[in-house]
Amino acid sequence: MIANLSKTITMNFSIEQITTLLDAKQIGETSIQFTGLNHLEKATDKQVSFIGTSKHAKLYSSSNAGAIVISENLQHLVSGDKPLLVVSNADLAMAKLLALFEPEAPYIEADIHPLATVHHSAQIGKDVSIGAGCYIGANVIIEDEVVIYPNVTILDDSKIGLKTVIWPGTVIRERSQIGAYCIFHNNVSIGADGFGYRPSEDGRGLIKIIHIGNVVIGNAVEIGANSCVDRAKFDSTIIGDGCKIDNLVQIGHNCILGRCCIMAGHSGLAGSVTLGDGVIIGGSASIKDHTTIHAGAVIAAGSGVMGDVAAGKIMLGYPASESRDKLREWAAVRKLGKN
């Protein structure tokens, strides 16, 4: 079976093997053993490429790719002798092939490195890897097959779920609860103080609001490099199962994210924001505190949300409004400029 092919032994795959993996319709033959993937304009005859849009279809004739995966609704746009693998969705097929050709992760022994510091009260599961320079605090629970790369800090009373992977520089503050199969990339911050201050009674300074809550993260959550999830003032900041968070994202104290939300880079949630299931936040979008964005809503890149958003709505602009309204507004402004 294709799933049992070893990536450590070989990275060469025949077109028949790739066809089987993708459950594709193969058009054309080739004896080439494929060694990787690339863009249409850069691919060599030993690489597979992809056509998922009509824009990419225009590059078919000039590409040197040895085989091309194409969405079935675009097949009529290309003609020639390059082998085609016809699938329902080229992007999803690409995800399968990227997994097939993925290089092995950096090696780290399933053990505790001599230069790691692990508190005697910590509970470490089976086949856990803890790299050099790590600090594991008191009463931390690390479940089986967790991989912790060098220079990670996990402070007291935290829990890390099964097969979670934590990359270098990440800091997981005290009392954090992390689910199974999560991925935290370089320098993620989980559970730092929330941002809260009030003017002092004498008016001469600011009083820091202490945050005594924690962060609770579900299963299969991925958080990109240099992103921050702040702990709650009280109770918990919650990230639901399956959420995917890009690099350089800020999630404020007491936020609650439902299942499978997506936040793109440089976006941010102020304190006590609630996202329903499947909400998408575009890059550099900003969400005001105590706002609820209901399930399935989309916030376009660069938008500023000042109030609640109904389920399924697409919001655009700064301040944000429904996309159709905002586009009409911009069109009207452009007409005014021509008068």
Give the DSSP letter of residue 103.
P
As a whole number of angstroms, the distance between CA 217 and CA 205 comes to: 35
Closest by CA position to 320, among listed 293, 339, 290: 293
Residue 12 identity: N
Pairing outcome for strands 141-142 and 135-136: unpaired
Judge contact between 211 and 253, C-beta under 8 A.
yes
**Helix/strand/coil for 338:** helix
Bridge partners, residue 57, by sequence: none
As a whole number of angstroms, the distance between CA 87 and CA 89 comes to: 6
Rounded CA Rg of the chain:
24
Taking the C-alpha atoms of 278, 281, 286 and 290 in order, what is their torsion angle to the nearest 10 degrees? Answer: 0
Catalytic residue among 56, 185, 211, 253: 253
Cis link prior to 319 (omega < 30° from 0)? yes
Judge contact between 327 and 316, C-beta under 8 A.
yes
76 included as an active-site residue: no
Closest by CA position to 307, among listed 73, 195, 259, 299: 299
Element (H, E) at 145: none
Which distant-in-sequence residues (6+ apart) come within 8 Å of 77 by Cβ? 54, 57, 60
Supply the DSSP string of 282-319, one letter for each residue: -TT-EE-TT-EE-TT-EE-TT-EE-S-B-TT-EEETTT
Dig out the tokens for 22 from the structure: 């993708």
**Residues tagged active-site:** 253
